[in-house]
């Protein structure tokens, strides 16, 4: 029969895989493709190390919520660098394409992306109405040239 570890032994084994710096605490064991630490819970279930660190300090994470790295370092397991937020908030705080687009205030031609100057297409992408009008006008002018 396999040996049963006490909760204290499991917690000590977890923190033995962490290099505590002055700010970030870096997970030194296995990581996924995105650089997030992976750990086993009770020898079976794999979970993200930063989520386990958060739960050890603050308790369980509500269903449907995610942990956001305020330090933007995916290998960090410092519970003080983690905040519980919705997935949408986490994505928009990041550096991915969705976050970059959401932070845009003007289109590539300099028109403001305000509620009265945008429309959304099927992909939920914001489009500039002024640019759309200019594009439509140019098409109309070209079609008039072709008819001559």
Comparing CA positions, the residue from 58, 14, 59 lying closest to residue 37 is 14
DSSP letters spanning the chain: -PPPPPHHHHHHHHHTTEEE-SS-EEE-S-B-TTS-BEEEETTTEEEEHHHHHHHHHH-PPPTT-EEEETT--TTB--GGGEEEE-HHHHHHHSSSHHHHHHH--B-TTS-B--GGGEEE-TT--EEEHHHHHHHHHHHHHHHHHHH-
pLDDT, one tens digit for every residue, the chain (148 residues) = 667 778 888 889 999 999 999 999 999 999 999 999 999 887 677 999 999 999 999 999 999 999 999 999 999 999 999 999 999 899 888 888 877 887 788 989 999 889 898 888 887 788 889 888 888 888 888 887 777 6
User: What was the pLDDT predicted at 138?
Assistant: 85
pTM of this structure:
0.70
Q: Is the dihedral of CA 79, 30, 15, 41 positive or negative?
A: positive
What are the domain boundaries of the chain? 1-103, 105-148
Cα separation, 55 vs 62, in Å, equals 10
User: Which fold would CATH assign to domain 1-103?
Assistant: Homing Intron 3 (I-Ppo) Encoded Endonuclease; Chain A (3.90.75)
Question: What pLDDT was estimated at residue 78?
Answer: 98
Q: Which two tokens stand for residue 117?
A: 């100057």
Q: How far is CA 56 from the centre of its chain?
A: 22
């Amino acid at each position: 029969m396999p040996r049963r570890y006490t909760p204290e032994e499991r917690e000590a084994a977890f923190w033995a895989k962490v290099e505590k710096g002055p700010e970030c605490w870096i997970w030194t064991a296995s990581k996924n493709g995105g650089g997030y630490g992976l750990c086993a819970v009770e020898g079976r279930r794999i979970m993200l190390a930063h989520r386990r660190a958060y739960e050890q300090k603050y308790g369980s994470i509500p269903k449907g919520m995610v942990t956001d790295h305020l330090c933007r370092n995916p290998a960090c397991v410092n519970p003080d660098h983690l905040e519980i937020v919705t997935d949408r908030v986490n994505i928009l705080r990041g550096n991915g394409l969705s976050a970059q687009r959401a932070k845009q205030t003007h289109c590539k031609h300099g028109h403001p992306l305000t509620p009265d100057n945008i429309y959304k297409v099927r992909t939920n992408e914001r489009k500039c109405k002024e640019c759309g009008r200019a594009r439509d006008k140019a098409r109309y002018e070209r079609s008039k040239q072709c008819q001559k």
